[in-house]
Structure 1
Amino acid sequence: MKFVLSLFAAIFGWLSMMAQTNTYSISFENAVHHEASVKATFPNLKMDTISFRMSRTSPGRYALHEFAKNVYGFKAFDSKGRELAVHRPNPYEWQISGHDGLVQVKYTLFANRGDGTYAQIDETHAHLNIPATFMYAPSLSDRKIEVTFNVREDLNWKVATQLPLVSGTTYTAPNLYYFMDSPTEISDFTLKSFQVDGQTIQLALHHNGTENEADTYFEKVKKVVLAEKDVFDGLPSFDYGTYTFLACYIPNASGDGMEHRNSTILTSTRSLANGGMERNIGTVSHEFFHAWNVERIRPKSLEPFDFEAADMSGALWFAEGFTSYYTNLILCRAGLISPKEYVEGITGTFNYVWNSPARQFFNPVEMSYQAPFVDAATSVDPVNRENTFISYYSYGSVLGLALDLSLRENGLTLDDFMKSVWNKYGKPEIPYTIANLHDALNEFAGKTFGDDFFNNFIHNSAMPDYVSLFNTVGVQVQQPKTEPYFGAYTSMSPDNSGYKILRNPIIGSPAYLAGLDNGDVILNINGISFSEDQDFIDYLRQFNIGDSLKVTYARYGVQKMTSLTLSANPDYTINLMEDGEQIPSNSMLQQRKSWLKHD
């Protein structure tokens, strides 16, 4: 009798659970025209009116993307197949009333951008970012979800996703958030995997290359995974024991990388045979580091993630920026680039941050606040971003570099600080505030050190003494001051009439002080015309720093003239000391070896 009662209870529990499960199915009969057919069923509804939405945001992004614009042919039915009335209170929402406790919706989705934010459907693949694909009911966000991907067997499609498998091509998610955070690649991909500490790391690679190329690339992926594991002394505990790289390197993709809890999207038009073997691996490094830093070491300002409004965080200099610092450092430690390549590769990011006038307007926290306007956000009105914004990726990266080298002067390392933050906030998954990070650095390196770093470089816009810091690891930073500097980005105009200024001139630069502006066409300087296809920088080399020049230009079709004084290029060069005229000391070389973990 006890067995029968237990069996009855189990069956009743299973039926009750199924009654609380929302189900989706998606099919791709018209993939050639980038369409998918989506159906979803929501049972056991207690409310008279239920609201369905398309998300306006996507996990890992910070701007609005308005996925509802690609949905059409929406209809709703009750359990008997009776069509229900639909009310649209706003562009993102469909309200259904008059149902009998169950609502089935169906619609057509158009999707043709293959990256980490959107979805792409064609006869090469169904590349699905879930918020861009599936409608949801906010009031049912705690319910379990099952989704069936009706794959195109004629195209040999398979499914790769972090969602756990139910059977066949049906997968499940414990709730709405996990579902929305689970991108899915459906294609004829190659699957590679290896085991690390009892967990599976796998690469689902959709590309047009060879199996040998896939094997070679996967070896690089392995090296990145192990080098990043060393930073934190272990992998995160991935849900369901698996982490999946969803790599899509095909001509119709759009370059991107987007982290998720147990997977990441990697997209590029570069094939492995055409530069991707070396150039795509940096995205692997960046996105996998996010498995710790941002997915589990998570800013409180991003919790809970809002699918209806832009998510703003002041911590992106740490979440994205420090991750960017480790991106190429990991490639060096993994032996995928040389110390020389790594150090010289810092130069572009360093000059961008160091020379930007934007630091007079915003500190790193405030730069992070700009994410909803810049993170793949679109607008049609011109902005002055050249002068007012520094990417929190870059800003945080050079500050992470400075913090690492500063800690090393005190016998500490950024690796160990990241481990301490991981153990305090990441492993137990306690969202942090910026004040928490400040306190954590004070505890790790001392109050004087921590206060100095946060008060000067995070809450204000001062810059560390990079010359001294680089010197400790045998790296030379120089500002040659031999190249004339104009201060505006130009390109030969379409009619070859001159050089058109393509961006806002930099505040304080010669072009800015001379009153030149975006859109002006430089016709000649000192009466000297331009040769066809001549590079503008090469043209400037006939003049000297400090020369006062007469610039003839056209604005709105009207010819004008101004005076401009050339200054020295403010950019720095960054090199290993031994590649210049200095010889690094043994202590410098030891510090460098410890930093780069490279013989």
Structure 2
Amino acid sequence: MQRVLLLLVFLSLFQCKQSETSEALPSIDGKSTYTISFENAVHHEALVNATFSGIPTGEFEFRMSRTSPGRYALHEFMKNVYDVKVTDDAGNALETSRPDPYSWIVNGHNGTVNVSYILYANRGDGTYAQVDETHAHLNIPATFMYAPVLANNEIEVTFNVRKDFNWKVATQLKHLEGNTYYARDLQYFMDSPTEVSNHSVRSFDVGDQKVNFALHHNGIEAEFDAYFESVKKVVLQQEAVFGELPKYDYGEYTFLGCYIPNASGDGMEHRNSTIVTSTRSLANGGLSGNLGTVSHEFFHCWNVERIRPQSLDPFDFEEANMSGELWFAEGFTSYYTNLMITRAGLMTPERYVRGLTGGFNYVWNSPGRQFFNPIEMSYQAPFVDAARSVDDINRNNTFISYYTYGSVLGLALDLSLREQNLNLDDYMKLVWNTYGKVEDYYTVKDLHTTLNAYAGAEFGDAFFNNYIYKSGMPDYERLFKTVGINVTKNDNRVSFGGFIRNQVITANVTMGSSAYNAGLEKGDKLLKVGKTTLTETKSLNDAISQYKPNDTVTVTYERLGEVRTTQLTFQKDPSYSIALSDAENAEAKTNREAWLGAK
């Protein structure tokens, strides 16, 4: 691989695109240099030193990011930074001011500004940082301050590892020497999570490139060997979808795995790497249970990282990017997550089909479809993607995850295309060749146009007009039948319409449901349904199992200390059951094998 040539071509493309989408930064001969040390790891602290050199005279700004690549909400990393000291290259304190909670303005510098601070870090996932005696798990935006004026300039970082813990460094950053690494600019630096720990590494070659897995865990090497064999199978099935791996910037892709008790379960994609974290060890179900995150995040190295929405580039470290394409970027990736595991022979078709049921019912029985289509659901990401709020919200009635919504639409599109002797794999490959491979950003309109080019305007227009620009439901009964699957409604049963724990309704009841129409609400404690008194041993499900749709009963409940009654009329259970058909024909079986079989 001609790595130098590829790097120059990419850098040229990146700078061209950035100039088209944001105000160009002045060209300066500056540099950002960092060191990070972990002497007080036992108390979750890291000491960061940053040197910003070659900066213009006048006011100089440095700041902490408010966002992290792969996340779509604000996270306010500044809250974990303290003991900030600002000096010149001679160690003299510099005058600073604080225009907002995230940044500093420096006056009177001589072209170099040194900044030191303590970082508190104790969440090991795909967004934050965690420092303790087991590792330094570093998402870059949560760890390092940056200088906006140096965004297009080179960055070097040295990780002062704890030799007493046998720590070493795993990252997609370019290795220079020792524990010093390089990023060509701020966008690449911020997109380069780093795991510093006593981890193990496995690698295999795919063509002229290498796929690595750096795993920090408490298991044995034989478990990692077995797990990595499964990872390899998933990687190769995903390569088969697109016909090739992306050209990684330095010829390598690295999984950064933390399967340890003090981690938080997560996964986060990056250009040439991904973080995958879990509290589930390989010995305790992780050999199969952790593969879903691996499959999802690796698919992103095509879909999102290179097949990239215009709305996500350049990534904004001061405000949340809003994207209407997440139903495709995240949702279609979610569709392929378990499909790839099944094609790799690591999940049975029966289990795969059963697994479709939960997401299917969640999407098609949600009241949220009356408020937002898939594009508008994607717009909600800044409020739901690990975002936090303290006021009560009504998301269970108004929001459908773009992950799940896009996944069931990806399923429908795949089966619809297969009716036409086409398939979603080849559509994805066309999107890859048109946009991702050449790193040209796309919009929803581009996805629509590409589907028209692949399957014809009548087919493409029908799909987008009914299911993307509107919230219609495809004819799944017909589509599933083509691959020997039955989908049936459970309308011989009744439904209540709310989540119950210890007799208390724990979330807003579903709009239009039996409970909603009866005026019941979150926080109500159910005491009696008809003649049945609810107790620890007599649940709501026990009480309602004797009723049929349209039956009316008196419900006694307690609200704000007052006992009340209401009349509740039971509605049909709106859920669906999905299962392999007992009487499938040979054609349907052949179609299913073509869909779920190895490529």
Shared fold per TM-score greater than 0.5: yes
Counting only pairs closer than 5 Å after superposition, residues 169-568 of structure 1 correspond to structure 2 as 169-492=179-502, 499-568=503-572
**1:545-598: CA deviation from partner (whole Å, max 9, x where unpaired):** 3321111111111111111112221111111102xxxx1111111111111115
- In the superposition, the TM-score normalised over structure 2's length comes to 0.94
The reply on whether 1:584 has 2:584 as its aligned counterpart is yes
Q: For residue 86 of structure 1, what is the aligned residue in structure 2?
A: 96
Question: CA shift at 1:214, angstroms?
Answer: 0.6
The reply to whether residue 158 of structure 1 matches residue 168 of structure 2 is yes
Distance 1:310 1:111 in 2: 22
More moved, 530-539 vs 279-288: 530-539
Measured in 2, the distance between the counterparts of 1:206 and 1:412 equals 42
Question: Counterpart of 1:140 in structure 2: which amino acid?
Answer: L
1:259-318: CA deviations, max 9, x gaps?
000000001111111111111100000000000000000000111110000110000000
Q: Quick one: distance in 2 between partners of 1:280 and 1:152? A: 28
Give distance in 1, aligned partners of 2:550 and 2:55. 76
Q: Please tell me whether residue 133 in structure 1 is matched to residue 143 in structure 2.
A: yes
Residues 393-452 of structure 1, C-alpha deviation per residue, up to 9 Å, x if partnerless? 000000000000010111111000000000000000000011111110111100111110
Return the offset for 1:544: 3.4
User: Which of 36, 42, 54 is the aligned partner of 1:32?
Assistant: 42
Q: What does the per-residue CA deviation read over 1:361-403, in whole Å, with 9 as the maximum and x for residues that have no partner?
A: 0000000000000000001011111110000000000000000
1:149 to 156, 159, 174: 159
Give the letter aligned to residue 378 of structure 2. Answer: S
Aligned-partner Cα distance in 1 for 2:123–2:321: 22
User: Which blocks of at least 5 consecutive residues in structure 2 are unaligned?
Assistant: 1-26
Give distance in 2, aligned partners of 1:27 and 1:537. 56
Q: Distance in 2 between matches of 1:365 and 1:31?
A: 43
Cα RMSD of the aligned pairs, angstroms, is: 1.3
Task: Give, in angstroms, the shift of residue 109 of structure 1.
Answer: 0.3
Aligned partner letter, 1:401: L
- Which blocks of at least 5 consecutive residues in structure 1 are unaligned? 1-16, 493-498
3-state secondary structure, aligned to 2:250: helix
1:532 and 1:375 map into 2 onto residues whose CA distance is 35
Deviations 1:67-111, CA, capped at 9 Å, x for gaps: 011110001110111011121000011111111111100000001
Cα distance between partner residues in 1 of 2:377 and 2:77: 26
Paired AA for residue 350 in structure 2: K
Classify the secondary structure of the residue corresponding to 2:412: helix
Asked whether the 8 Å contact 1:193–1:202 carries over to 2, the reply is: yes
Aligned partner of residue 555 in structure 2, secondary structure? strand
- Deviation of 1:527 after TM superposition, in Å, equals 4.1
- How many residues are matched? 573
TM-score norm. by structure 1 comes to 0.94
Looking at structure 2, the residues matched to 466 and 484 of structure 1 have their Cα atoms a distance apart, in angstroms, of 23
Say whether the 8 Å CA contact 1:339–1:598 is kept in structure 2: no
Q: Secondary structure at 1:45's aligned position in 2?
A: coil
8 Å CA contact retained: 2:28, 2:54: no
8 Å contact kept, 2:56–2:111: yes
* CA–CA separation in structure 2 for the residues paired with 1:205 and 1:533: 45
Letter paired with 1:561: T
Q: 1:24-57 CA deviation, whole Å, 9 max, x = no partner? A: 0000011111100000001112131110110000
CA offsets 1:10-29 (integer angstroms, 9 cap, x no match): xxxxxxx9963311000001
Alpha-carbon separation, structure 1, partners of 2:238 and 2:325: 21
Tell me if the contact between 1:58 and 1:117 (Cα under 8 Å) persists in the aligned partners. Answer: yes
Tell me, yes or no, if the aligned pair for 1:34 and 1:121 is still in contact at 8 Å.
yes
> Secondary structure at 1:146's aligned position in 2?
strand
Q: How many Å separate the matches in 1 of 2:200 and 2:553?
A: 59
Q: Given residue 584 of structure 1, which amino acid in structure 2 is its aligned partner?
A: E
1:480 is displaced (CA, Å) by 2.7
Quote the offset at 1:524 in angstroms. Answer: 1.4
Letter of the aligned partner of 1:551 in structure 2?
Answer: V
Alpha-carbon distance in 1 for matches of 2:315, 2:365:
34
Equivalence for 2:60? 50
What does the per-residue CA deviation read over 1:117-157, in whole Å, with 9 as the maximum and x for residues that have no partner? Answer: 10011111100000000000011101100000001111111
Distance in 1 between the 2:553 and 2:520 partners? 13
SS at match of 2:532: coil
User: 77, 98, 109: which one pairs with 2:108?
Assistant: 98
Tell me the SS of whatever aligns to 2:466.
helix
Q: CA deviation at 1:529?
A: 1.5
Q: Counterpart of 1:408 in structure 2: which amino acid?
A: R
